[in-house]
Amino acid sequence: MQRSLRIPENHPRAESLRIRERLVECLRKGIVVEQGLIAHGRGEAFDYLLGERTTTYAREAIRASVAMMLLADHPVISVNGNVACLCAEDVVRLASLVNAKIEVNLFYRSYEREKAIEMLLKEHGANTVYGVGDRASMSIPELMSERRRVDRDGIYSADVVLVPLEDGDRTEALVRMGKKVIAVDLNPLSRTARSATITIVDNITRAMPLMVETARALRHEPRDRLNEMLRSFSNTRNLEASLSVIRLGVDGMYVEREGGGGSRQIGSE
């Protein structure tokens, strides 16, 4: 078996390489599937254009998202293999702070994989993990993939669902069911981003810790204050602003390639 790579601390892509190594390790444990590695690489390309940092617009979306979860009656955090691998601890912390349930929901579903993800979440402090095995007995209408299978006491009954990482068909279906959907998606042009109630255009490894931090700060705020945060947020405007950051990243890379860019920062606002 191939051994993990030793990553030099001063490597300019050290954090990205560490994340890749973690995903490969989770692949060997049956938590992540090969297709999840491809999906991660696609997101990394957008992150590079964002300057691999959390923008002001992503922070605004995070604040609105946490407010929405704190106001919800039955919030649920949906977890797939990549999310469990990269953010299990933060998923459990956020769920505790906003009183949300955690549910496993997979496109490439097997009972062994569900149990592996459940075990990882429980190792990080989760009590009940929904959507595992026979618990996923309900179906999301008009959805044909394995993602349609949900827990009656989890996503099926939720009023707000946090869907980290791209999941366009299910996001659209959940919205048709009348649920509010919070997405974390590095591509502001995706169906997920455009269909969600709130979209956080950021890397999941940065967004989830910030959601935890924000939940700690907001959990004692009065409901009228949380409602005001939601009223002042526009997902359409936020997506357009995030897209403008990516355009600046593309322009900056083009200028640098042509020799006239100097030290312009990719993804600067």
Number of domains in the chain: 1
H helix intervals, 80-150? 81-98, 111-123
pLDDT computed for residue 168 by the predictor: 85
pLDDT of residue 263: 38
pLDDT number for residue 167: 77
Domain with 120 in it: 56-238
**Is 245 among the domain residues?**
no
Report d(CA 213, CA 131) in Å as an integer.
27
Q: Which residues pair with 79 in a beta bridge?
A: 104
Q: Which helix (H) or strand (E) segment is 198 a member of?
A: strand 198-200
CATH of the domain at 101: 3.40.50.12640
Residue 44 lies in a domain: no
pTM of the shown model: 0.86
Give domain status of residue 19, yes or no. Answer: no
Residue 248: predicted pLDDT: 83
Cβ of 218: how many Cβ atoms within 10 Å?
18
Q: Measured between alpha carbons, how far apart are the two ends of the chain, in Å? A: 44
Instruction: Flag residues of the chain having pLDDT under 50.
Output: 1-2, 254-269
Residue 151 domain flag: yes
Please check whether residue 73 lies inside any domain of the structure. Answer: yes
Q: Which of 126, 174, 175 is nearest to 150 (CA)?
A: 174
28 lies in some domain? no
